[in-house]
Amino acid sequence: MRDSKARLLNSDFPALKRGPTHTVQLNLGYLCNLSCQHCHVNAGPKRTELMTRDTMQTALQFAAQRGVTTLDLTGGAPELNPNFRWLVTAARQQGLHVIDRCNLTVLLMVGQSGTAEFLAAHQVEITASLPCYLESNVDAQRGKGVFQDSLTALHQLNALGYGQANTGLVLNLAYNPQGPVLPPPQATLEHAYKDYLHQQFGIHFNRLFTLTNMPIQRFGAVLQASGEFDRYLALLKHAHQPANLEHVMCRSLLSVDWQGFVYDCDFNQLLGLPLAGQSIHIEELLQPTRLPDDISVAEHCYGCTAGQGSSCQGGLG
């Protein structure tokens, strides 16, 4: 797989400064039951990298010391980390709001019986990847049969109260474009998703998050192989909206990789762009030291400011 990092580092992206940290995002490892084309993590069934319980405990200590309110769990499939349930339980006991970035199909795996019920019992917010509401598009991007498995998991979550009124169980869906294009307007697409999924399958959810594909890792390699890399970067830069700089997620989020090293965001993590250009472990931040003000930026950052903007919580504008 061709590395796109070298083509991203020489950048004129505007300087960014960090604000108060409200969210810690933990990448619990690259193990996943799927190998999606758009995956910027290059996750898959053969990956072995997994965060240890000691690193999780350190991250919880950091969150308590710094007044963090949200723990955002990602991967790979975070549920496949053997310490996933321990972490969620400890985080909820600590009073943290927990988000699970779930690919849905993992809930149907052997060994994951009861995971959906566990998430509901701990009032974990679920952000579930469903890159289209059409079966052919989802299966083309994620693998044959993934759409039907996703529907089965969504019905399971709805039956537990997720996405339903007055339950407090939040179920959001995440959309990624099929190729090197910007996502459509989030509000318009959310309306289309809700209408189609309810009318065709009786499925309910709260919000739709539209996410821009980042030209790194697996998707970056696809762009280079197809000769679309430069055109896609030009598209992102041309669509840059300066107003989105105030709301990009890296200003209030700290990303922690499976080994415990810290980054400004998940994308910088996968490009190996550490916090302030230094190799800093989360354990070092337990000391009363100030986080670096400067955020590491490169060409891929235009993906977060293009058009309506993009973050882990969807569009910015």
User: What is the C-alpha to C-alpha distance for residues 268 and 271, in angstroms, rounded to an integer?
Assistant: 5
Percent of the chain with pLDDT over 70: 96
Structure tokens at 22: 């409200």
Average pLDDT along the chain? 92
Structure tokens at 173: 């869906």
Q: Where are the chain's structural domains?
A: 5-305
3-state secondary structure of 173: strand
What are the pLDDT digits (tens) for 199-211? 999 999 999 999 9
Contact 221, 1 (CB under 8 A): yes
H or E segment and range at residue 209: strand 207-210
pLDDT class of 63 with cuts at 50, 70, 90: very high
Task: Specify the pLDDT at position 85.
Answer: 98
What are the pLDDT digits (tens) for 248-296? 999 999 999 999 999 999 999 989 999 888 899 999 999 877 888 999 9
Architecture of domain 5-305: Alpha-Beta Barrel (3.20)
* Residue 1 clears pLDDT 60, i.e. is over it: no
What are the pLDDT digits (tens) for 114-149? 999 999 999 999 999 998 888 888 888 777 888 999
Region 67-89 average pLDDT: 96
pTM metric for this prediction? 0.94
